[in-house]
């Protein structure tokens, strides 16, 4: 997904991308909404609305049951971000991913140090088993309520079935605050 090429990885061309796009269109010829969702994911990435981890997670979910598409899409992912058929991509998060998210939280709350400190406290409480996953989610939801990018980023670290659900109502509410 990045502009560079990892060692041992073939540099892909625009023709490769167009050929893969055609494969996706053919695979979802009877499910146009899935093809449209794939296009939306790619546009979101291009607009920097989601990162490589977000793309990988959403595409992995979208392509479930289509091993050929997952393997084809892997050609466009940097090493370390490859997907396996049926495996949730979020399980491959690295320490650098966690540190990058922590930095995003720090930047979002640069003028509200107490909120950043509260996030660190929530994480420490979880690590020390003073709270469970549902407790973390409840506290983080309240803390991040005006920062949808943090909510979406935090989803990458939550176990399956515990992700925040972003409703249209929440999006409208957030947009109205801008």
Q: Which of 74, 92, 110 is the last residue of a domain?
A: 92
Q: Are residues 80 and 101 in the same domain?
A: no
Q: Is the dihedral angle over the CA atoms 175, 90, 124, 132 positive or is it negative?
A: positive
Which pLDDT tens digit goes with each residue over 64-118?
A: 888 888 888 888 887 777 776 544 445 567 777 888 889 989 988 999 999 999 9
Does 172 reside within a domain?
yes
List the alpha helices (DSSP H) in 47-164. 52-62, 67-74, 95-108, 113-127, 133-143, 148-155
Q: Which helix (H) or strand (E) holds 23?
A: helix 14-27
For residues 38 and 84, the model is more confident at 38
Burial class (CB in 10 A: 0-12, 13-18, 19+), 104: middle
Q: Are residues 171 and 111 in the same domain?
A: yes
Give me Rg for the CA atoms of the chain.
Answer: 18
Which pLDDT tens digit goes with each residue over 125-149?
A: 999 999 998 899 999 989 998 887 7
Q: Are residues 125 and 172 in the same domain?
A: yes
For residues 44 and 130, the model is more confident at 130
> 2 falls in which pLDDT band (50, 70, 90)?
very low
Q: Are residues 86 and 152 in the same domain?
A: no
The reported pLDDT for the residue numbered 145 is: 83
Total domains in the fold of the chain = 2
Does 144 reside within a domain?
yes
Q: List the CATH number of the domain containing 154.
A: 1.20.1160.11
Q: Are residues 64 and 124 in the same domain?
A: no
Q: Are residues 85 and 104 in the same domain?
A: no
CB 127 within 8 A of CB 121: no
Q: Are residues 73 and 141 in the same domain?
A: no
Does 153 reside within a domain?
yes
Q: Provide the residue range defining the domain that includes 121.
A: 95-176
The reported pLDDT for the residue numbered 170 is: 55
């Amino acid at each position: 997904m990045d502009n560079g090429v990892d060692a041992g990885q073939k540099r892909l061309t625009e023709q490769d991308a167009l050929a893969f796009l055609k494969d996706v269109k053919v695979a979802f010829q009877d499910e146009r909404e899935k093809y449209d969702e794939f296009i939306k994911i790619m546009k979101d990435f291009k607009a920097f609305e989601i990162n490589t981890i977000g793309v990988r997670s959403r595409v992995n979910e979208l392509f479930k049951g289509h091993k050929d598409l997952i393997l084809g899409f892997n050609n466009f992912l940097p090493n370390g971000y490859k997907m396996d058929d049926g495996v949730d991509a979020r399980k491959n998060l690295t320490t650098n991913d966690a540190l990058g998210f922590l930095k995003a939280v720090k930047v979002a709350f640069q003028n509200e140090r107490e909120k950043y400190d509260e996030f660190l406290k929530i994480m420490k409480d979880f690590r020390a088993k003073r709270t469970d996953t549902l407790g973390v989610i409840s506290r983080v939801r309240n803390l991040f309520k005006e920062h949808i990018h943090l909510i979406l980023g935090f989803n990458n670290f939550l176990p399956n079935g515990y992700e925040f659900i972003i409703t249209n109502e929440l999006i409208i509410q957030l947009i109205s605050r801008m």
